[in-house]
Amino acid sequence: MDLNLEYKVVIVTGGTKGIGEGISRSFAAEGAQVVVFGRNQDEGDAFVAQLQASQGKAAFRFAELTDEAQVKNAVADTLQEYGRIDVVVNNAGVNDSVNLEAGVEAFRASLEKNLTQCYALVHHCLDALKSSRGNIVNIGSKVAETGQGGTSGYAASKGGINGLTREWALDLANHGIRVNCVIPAEVMTPLYERWIARQPDPEADLKAICDSIPLENRMTTIEEVGDAVVFVASDRSSHTTGQILYVDGGYTHFDRRCTHL
């Protein structure tokens, strides 16, 4: 199936590891020009070199995403080199455990890291997206739907991402710009590996989590999330907008009585 992504210019924030790596690799495999935005230059350069050697076109642009000036400059540099932007993937974010006890300043900082930076990037890409009739894919979290406990900032941010997905889809429809959100649940990323390793019985805890995922009792892979993002961004999803797609093996919405047998 030709997804018509060859030579399309795709910005992926936080695209060097975890879910972002899966997204970057999936776009590169389809022939897209991947431009990763991130704040670790050495890590970005190494990832891009690996991706270029194995799959194709990739570049890295340094940007601390909470610094609007850096975001603006990275967008301008991308446009100067490639002349267009076709897809923006808002992937970067962190479940930072900013809870009710953390205080208002910590909460504001969490929103900056997980929500405001997404608005800033799309704002500065908007003219280019209008020119290309491109699209936006936001990466959300099940936490916006289920809650988690102890992470007010992240939960509020991801709820905001869902709201912006619907708002932007409506706001930009007249420009031919599609906006969708892909939501993973339990994915074995490096960050998740570190978290599970800190649990009292990591092996038992991981098994309990997997047992609660209805489809095949396993975690979602970064490749599965990446492929879903690429499909939603492609011309094969040309009349899909404002949708919130859960790529989670049924984890988020199925009756818990059926997942804890």
Question: Rg for the chain (alpha carbons), in Å?
Answer: 18
13 close to 89: Cβ distance less than 8 angstroms: yes
Asked whether 261 and 222 are in contact (CB, 8 A), the reply is no
Q: How many residues does the chain have?
A: 261
The neighbour count for residue 1, using CB atoms within 10 Å, is: 6
Cα–Cα distance measured from residue 243 to residue 138, given in angstroms and rounded to the nearest whole number: 10
In angstroms, the CA 224 to CA 241 distance is 20
Three-state secondary structure call for residue 48: helix
Residues 247, 252, 258, 261: is their CA dihedral positive or negative? Answer: positive
User: Which amino acids are annotated catalytic?
Assistant: 154
